[in-house]
Structure 1
Amino acid sequence: MELLGAATVVLLICIACLFSFAAWRGRSGKGKMPPGPAPLPIIGNVLQVKPKNMSETFQKVFPLPSSSAGIIFSNNEEWLQLRRFALSTLRNFGMGKRSIEERIQEESEHLLEEINKTKGTPFDPTFLLSCAVSNVICSIVFGRRYDYKDKKFLALMNNMNNIFQMMNSKWGQLYQMYSKILDYFPGPHNKIFREFDDLKAFVAEEVKLHQASLDPSSPQDFIDCFLSKMQEEKEKPNSSFHMKNLITSTFDLFIAGTETTSTTVRFGLLLLLKYPKIQEKVQEEIDRVVGRSRKPCVADRAQMPYTDAVVHEIQRFISLIPLALPHTVSKDTRFREYVIPKGTTIFPILSSVLHDSKEFPNPNEFNPGHFLNENGTFKKSDFFMPFSAGKRICPGEGLARMEIFLLVATILQSFTLKPVVDLQELNVTPTLSGTSNVPPVYQLCAVPR
């Protein structure tokens, strides 16, 4: 009897393997799905996952994310309405009297003050950069900035840092692949939900304060604009502008616009430490175009091709988000000799484009020349897509590009960055290379110029 039971189990496993193999074979070939690794029964492709290089793994494996509210994971008409609203609000910023550029410049002054306090001694720039970038988002979304020592602000920063770390941890990456299974199991991956809840509670509290002081004729920030839109469409059935989408959209802008930009600048400063000659050339251009009597502005970028090239090369080289957000095929789509069926989830591998050797010779080397013509003018590239591609390209691209340029230029205008170790010992290899490429922890000395 026991032998019969064991034989039954073996038979079921064999049948499952055959079905799995047949399904895989059916997905590949001319006129069908592109080829990929054969999934094993039950565990799928888990054995092929490489936590230290997820972008490589995800060229073959990744699940369909659950639908949600907000800008990032909503779909169809709701996504279109929310994205269009976010883009127009960020682009026009018809709130208050200050432009986004002015808010970035104001926060840059606070950042310089904090760096000055280090008096040229070694410090880790992570916290200060995160505070500065986060405050720009706070100014746009909440209508105000926070002191870097504010307890409420520090708790918020801690939430975001924990979320970013957890998403890039092995458990976080595993959860993103097998969420439907891991939802039923305990483990470190469950901690991230408490962090999300705390951050959303913070946003919800801010929304209540805005509701009490709202003047629809004079919105002061993103939340005010969204609340005004909710009032406009309160009688409209199935409106996309409701409280859940307000909280989630605000959360999306906040979480996506803080860690990504601050990490990019932090990685950029590390590269400028590693390549002091490049730092010197940027400073020479800043002195020539901007001088020392005023702060850099966005209009200066057109006259600063080398600095612009360095900023672009930082984003290309680090490939911060090697795997873009998921896209869904809206109709059967022919790709080369294959057909990708409607409803298939597609993940663009941005690093494969940013490190394309034909477009960028020696792509693994940090070289601003990748974005310069022979005569020294700036050279655009269609392969520059750190903000993703297609209709789901990052809605905050304009804001992020502005922040990165202004922060780097403002810091180098006032300080020369010095490493605390020999250049040969300065490591620029990411320590977390899961869904994001995060630079190693380092210190620098900011010497006043």
Structure 2
Amino acid sequence: MQGGANGSNYSGINLGTLNAGTSAVDIRVGGDVVMAGQNATSSNGYAGITLYSGSKVYGRNLSFYGVSSAGVGMQLGWGSSVAVDLRATSSTGTLLIAGSSSFIDGGATGSGGYGVFANGSVLRAPTIQIIGLNTNVSCVQNIACAGIGLGWYTRSSQTTNIYTNNFKLVSDKVVLGLSPVAVSLCDSNCGGGSGSSFGIDFSSYNSSSPLTFYYPSTSSTAIARLGSNYGGYLVMPSTGTTLSSYTYSHNADITIGSDLQITGSIYLSGATVTFGANLTTTVAGGDITVLATNHIQQTNATTITTAGGDVLFSSNSDGGVDGRINLSNGLTVTTNGGNITLGGGNSLGSGYAQGVGTSGLSEGLRIDGIVNLSSGNGNISLRGKSGAVAEWIDNGAWGVGFYNVSPGVVINSGTGAVLIDGYS
């Protein structure tokens, strides 16, 4: 549905009215609910879809798509203190909220140019996915044209509470308001009842952009984890919660600062990836994938463990001219039947980790101190290419190499194949 015909300024879809409160729209169906709205005007700030405060929509799966050239693409909450209530009632239900805006907000609060803006909302579904973008290439104000806004940036207002077992965010910019966003496991009002584990899946909308969180007075591209994030303005389930999956993908550096143990798969994709801790998957066949368009490095010895899943480290994954794997504190990988691949050049690691022509950075694949790779009959592949530099003192001109290893290099594939491809 499209709003703004013949120059009128209205949302493509309005549910409820100003100050309706508990008398707002109440939609409850046994099947799916799909809404798509567009505001094609160029002024007055109306949204593609507006769900006024107090609106209720319950259905097996819920999907909302809002587009606006004059305001927010998809707006949740407006007009009173009563929360918007959205619920996917199926045990496998999904709540999808997607919005796009090409508007730049010149106001003090900066809330009118978001793809998705949620304020005073309660969202419940086994899987919740929020996708938001602003398409205006002229936007330079960080909070004036973000993909997603969760709460008012400059004022304490109604909170947004999210109950889900799988939380997915896709955006280049996410603005967090003064009232923190609380994310919890599904409660008894979710489809399927209370949840027991939690999955995180965050990525940038454009693969060439970082996923940046803006919150009062500062911003961050750090990865989100269980517990409190970004100054306490995004609070995820507590740190003792079982993680069922973890995906984080954007064009910024990623630092693994504390151990991450998952009952599913781990997927990390960033610019430079730095290990300061260990990764473990405990589910049979759960993979660990680490992609870096630049380098893979570490600050501490690293242990990677799967229960039959593959382990892939690929630096220079965009096929550029620079992207090494330099693990100067040692690496232990145990896959119990999965393949081990350390390489580069693409998302499969089938090319070379690429060193550069600079002292200390020239090796393509270098591991120091501890080298213990055990695949339990899976294949092991190591590929590296050195930069164009002469060998000198502490840097080598090797494609693949191990240095100062104690007690010795262990590469054990059982019945699997071993490939070491070094190009100097």
Instruction: Say which structure is richer in strand.
Output: 2
By relative contact order (CA 8 Å, sep 6+), the higher-ranking structure is 1
* TM-score clears 0.5: no
Per the shorter chain, which TM-score range?
A: under 0.3
